[in-house]
Chain A
Amino acid sequence: MTPALLDPRPAAAAGAPHGQLASAMTGGALRLSCHKLIEDAARATILLVPGLLRLDVRPLEDSLQVFARALHPVPPRWEIIDGTADEAATDEPYRLEWRVDAPLEPHPIRGRVTVTMTVDFDQGAAHFVAHALFREILA
């Protein structure tokens, strides 16, 4: 049975203003996808799991601020597992990938979140694409 936090319907409804897609995967996993053009210095949401977490980003001229907001009394842990932050000269979009662990009862939830950012200095904006997959850890 899918836990309430991984039900795609509330995630789709709450994420709709942000253009977020939410769907159920085999085994009860929740898959999310969202893309958004965000102006320099604006903080905007690019991922939302109601009752669990929200991910906001704020592009600046030479940096990116990330806000991982916990929406559950037991805050999920975010750990960067990959990214291109150490490859400043690359022509590829800036990319960050996290593992997210929510130590919930009776079963913890684990997720993987990937965000890519393409900046257009002249337009004063950045385009973000976020993907995420969350599933309950039963073992």
Chain B
Amino acid sequence: MRRVALTLRADAVEEVLDVLMPLIPQGVYERVLDPQRTEVAFSGDGLPAAAELEAIAGDALLGRDEEEVADSREERRRRAGRTWTVAGRLRVRSPDDPPSGDGVRDIVIEPAPGAFGTGAHPTTRGCLELLLELQPGGGLADLGCGSGVVAIAAAQLGWEPVYALDFDERSVGATERNAQRNGVAVRAVLADLREIPAPPAHSLVANIPLDVHERIAGSLSPASARVIVSGITASQEPAATAAYGRAGLALRGRRVGGGWATLWLERP
């Protein structure tokens, strides 16, 4: 199968896609190479000829590569990359992607079915952005840990001990594997937070639905002085803030993106 990768000027990608998308109905794979360059790749039979692609891209075209590749979804996904940079200080990537090499903190997450937390979702990014702003110290529990990315980041940044809880066995297994891969100590625990209270860690990071937040807030330990609340939509922010407010926590910071809200609350 023929695969074409166009390197385009980042500021002209959308104009090129206006013409390209009808020709590539199966879709294209975009990858930011740096702030000035974006790769747009696609594969299949019957792709436009080189001359046509050059005419479409015009002076936005900085480079073009072509090769024969296997007709494999896994291969196309691998080549698309799974690297997400958070606040310019932390990079979440898959084992297939190259390390940053630029001094940015690196977290390697093995993609796993059902284990939420690749670094792509606004709620994960909100948790990581707020975590980067806080002064590390004391114990931390990552509630609804998914892939374990938040717990691993916390352990790297200096929280100790770090616990990671999830009601999904696959997530607990993924967290254990990813913590080991990143060389940090995270204790992953299978637990349903609809059934038990949150552990009494000094800091909690909870990327979970609103109803679970309300349960956690209702039985919050006095030892838990700081909570990062995520997994809620922007419209649910007042309800979440009120629930933790009744537990004695006040809003200190927030991130909103893609319709999702992530909140930082602390005891005064």
Contacts and interface: CB of A to CB of B under 8 A. Distances in A.
Contacts of A125: 73
Contacts of B120: 60-63, 65
Contacts of A89: 209
Interface stretch (B3-11, B26-34, B154-162): B26-34
Interface string A9-27: 0000010011100000000
B29 A60 contact: no
Interface string A47-91: 010000010101011110100010100000000100101111100
Nearest to A121: B113
A33 interface: no
Interface residues of A, number: 36
Nearest to B15: A69
Interface residues of B, number: 38
11 contacts: A38-B26, A41-B77, A42-B29, A45-B25, A60-B120, A61-B82, A62-B121, A80-B259, A86-B210, A86-B235, A124-B77
Interface of A: 14, 17-19, 36, 38-45, 48, 54, 56, 58, 60-63, 65, 69, 71, 80, 83, 85-89, 121-125
Given A43-B30, A44-B27, 4 more contacts: A14-B22, A39-B27, A44-B26, A60-B118
Interface of B: 14, 17-18, 21-23, 25-30, 73-74, 76-77, 80, 82, 111, 113-114, 116-118, 120-122, 124, 146, 209-210, 231-233, 235-236, 259-260
